[in-house]
Chain A
Amino acid sequence: MSVETEIRFKLNGSEVHLKVPVTMKVLQMLRDKLGMTGTKYACGEGECGACTIKVDGSTINSCLMYAVDCDGREIVTIEGLRSPEGLNPMQQAFVDHGAIQCGFCMPGMIMQADYLVESNTGLTREQAQRGLEGNLCRCTGYTKVLDAVASVVEKKKCHVR
């Protein structure tokens, strides 16, 4: 007997129109209603960052965001980073640097890392470290993650020149 409401939003560039229970979180909507399982469910309380997505360009924990609040907004998930030309530079850098162990935290890590690099072109390693504080990797593979982020920052600098 849960109250539902209709919402419209943009998901990875496409218009979505659906009915959701008003207490449903974005993470459940993505995974269970829309079948988009790239965004991971781990802690469910905003501690681990595995469910990180972008909302109007800023990253948030989708396990804490109410699906009703997607209405009128633009959502990007890990599935939306890839373009027809191939992987996004951050995805490619994670592959190139082997910044992956079990892989479960990676979608969230990549979303947050991509956001950090987009919002700060001169991102330092320390800033990357601080910016990724909300993303936990239980395999403790942070060094290669930071290497991957640094390589994207370097490449962006070269493009500017």
Chain B
Amino acid sequence: MQNITSYLAPRRMDEALRAMADGNATVLCGGTDLAPQTESGARPYKALLLNIRRLEGIGGIETTAAAVRIGSLTTISEIRRNAALATIAPVLVEAAEHFASDQIRNAASLGGNLCNASPAGDMSPPLLVLGASVELASWRDGAVQTRRMPLEQFFVSPGKTAKLPQELLTAVVFDRPATDFVGRFRKSGPRPALEISTVSLALGARFAAGKLSNVRVAMGSVAPTPLRARHVESALEGKKLDSATIAAAVAATAEDAKPIDDVRASAWYRGHLARVFVEEVLESVRGN
């Protein structure tokens, strides 16, 4: 059994952060990614197995007039069923709806989904288009220190994030979207449930008087990390949403999507799907 020497399930944040201050802890929450990864040997355990499920103060969804804060222990089911989010950020609820299966949604946490840093992580594209940041806490100089990082900078490579080993992701925060914010999410895989996305895509923008502004487009499974599609965004920013603009955005997709061939799909097919999704989400916004 690997090299675990201790197990902790603390309730207090400072206790958890102190325990992981040497960077030698494996964080356990829902276990839906950790269990298969460790069972297959793809991921070794560190000395401390730290169960954060009982930590106080990092669960729950808070919404104010200005911002939304989702604690990292929040399950995907809680996001899916949250009435406030359904109004404020339906693009995130939509992605939760298409996340794995009921049983996995009931266990998997938002923090875990992000820290797993899969290029196909389902929560990443919607949070990227909502302009979300992550809060990272650690124990330093005898106190809890917290820093914020834009989610876009958080993903480094498959399975790797910019989070330091002694840091714990405690929350995801984003500004409350404007009233004219439109969001869309698309995901594709051979079956609707329990699918690792072949390609996923989210759009978030302000849409007023037929024009898009503050455009954010994010894609999953088209690169080593979930990413912002900057070329597609600039083809749309400030533009009237007409057929010519949509065609320009579709044409720009190949500049952003750099997929690979693997067991799930060919690079060609992924590139094709990304273009189809860009067109679909834009047509859907235009049709409303």
The CA-CA distance from A5 to B48 in the complex, in Å, is 13
In residues 62-117 of chain B, which contact A (Cβ within 8 Å)? 77, 100-104, 106-107
Interface-located stretch among B30-38, B145-153, B175-183, B199-207: B30-38
Structural contact, B102 and A66, CB atoms closer than 8 A: no
Determine if B194 is an interface residue (Cβ-Cβ < 8 Å).
Answer: yes
Structural contact, B9 and A134, CB atoms closer than 8 A: no
The CA-CA distance from A72 to B5 in the complex, in Å, is 23
Closest approach, in angstroms, between the C-beta of B48 and any C-beta of chain A? 10
Known contacts A25-B35, A47-B194, A69-B28; A61 and B9 CB within 8 A of each other:
no
Q: Which residues of A contact B106 (CB under 8 A)?
A: 55, 58-60
Determine if A65 is an interface residue (Cβ-Cβ < 8 Å).
Answer: yes
Structural contact, B107 and A134, CB atoms closer than 8 A: no
Structural contact, A65 and B51, CB atoms closer than 8 A: no
Q: Which residues of A contact B5 (CB under 8 A)?
A: 3
- Chain B, 1-13, contact with A by CB distance < 8 Å: what is the 0/1 string? 1101111010000
- Chain B, 186-197, contact with A by CB distance < 8 Å: what is the 0/1 string? 000000111000
Closest approach, in angstroms, between the C-beta of B167 and any C-beta of chain A? 22
Determine if A87 is an interface residue (Cβ-Cβ < 8 Å).
Answer: no
- Chain A, 6-40, contact with B by CB distance < 8 Å: what is the 0/1 string? 00000000000000011101000000000000000
Determine if B154 is an interface residue (Cβ-Cβ < 8 Å).
Answer: no
The CA-CA distance from A72 to B11 in the complex, in Å, is 13
Best-surrounded residue of A22, A65, A131 (most CB of chain B within 10 A): A22
Structural contact, B101 and A5, CB atoms closer than 8 A: no
Structural contact, A23 and B2, CB atoms closer than 8 A: yes
Determine if A46 is an interface residue (Cβ-Cβ < 8 Å).
Answer: yes
Structural contact, B103 and A134, CB atoms closer than 8 A: yes
Q: Which residues of B contact A64 (CB under 8 A)?
A: 30-32, 35-36, 104, 107
Q: Which residues of B contact A116 (CB under 8 A)?
A: 102
- Chain B, 29-57, contact with A by CB distance < 8 Å: what is the 0/1 string? 01110011011000001000101011000
The CA-CA distance from A16 to B100 in the complex, in Å, is 31
Q: Which residues of B contact A49 (CB under 8 A)?
A: 101, 103
Known contacts A22-B4, A71-B9, A134-B194; A61 and B28 CB within 8 A of each other:
no
Known contacts A64-B35, A68-B51; A133 and B1 CB within 8 A of each other:
no
Q: Which residues of B contact A5 (CB under 8 A)?
A: 7
Known contacts A44-B39, A68-B9, A134-B104; A21 and B51 CB within 8 A of each other:
no
Best-surrounded residue of B6, B38, B54, B106 (most CB of chain A within 10 A): B106
Structural contact, B36 and A45, CB atoms closer than 8 A: yes
Q: List 28 A-B contacts (CB under 8 A).
A: A3-B4, A3-B6, A3-B49, A23-B2, A23-B45, A44-B36, A44-B39, A45-B36, A46-B36, A46-B100, A46-B103, A52-B103, A55-B106, A60-B103, A60-B104, A60-B106, A61-B104, A64-B30, A65-B107, A112-B102, A115-B102, A116-B102, A131-B102, A133-B102, A133-B193, A134-B100, A134-B104, A134-B194
Measured CB to CB, the residues of B under 8 A from A are 1-2, 4-7, 9, 28, 30-32, 35-36, 38-39, 45, 49, 51, 53-54, 77, 100-104, 106-107, 192-194
- Known pairs A65-B35, A134-B104. 5 more at Cβ < 8 A? A2-B1, A5-B7, A46-B100, A64-B32, A69-B53
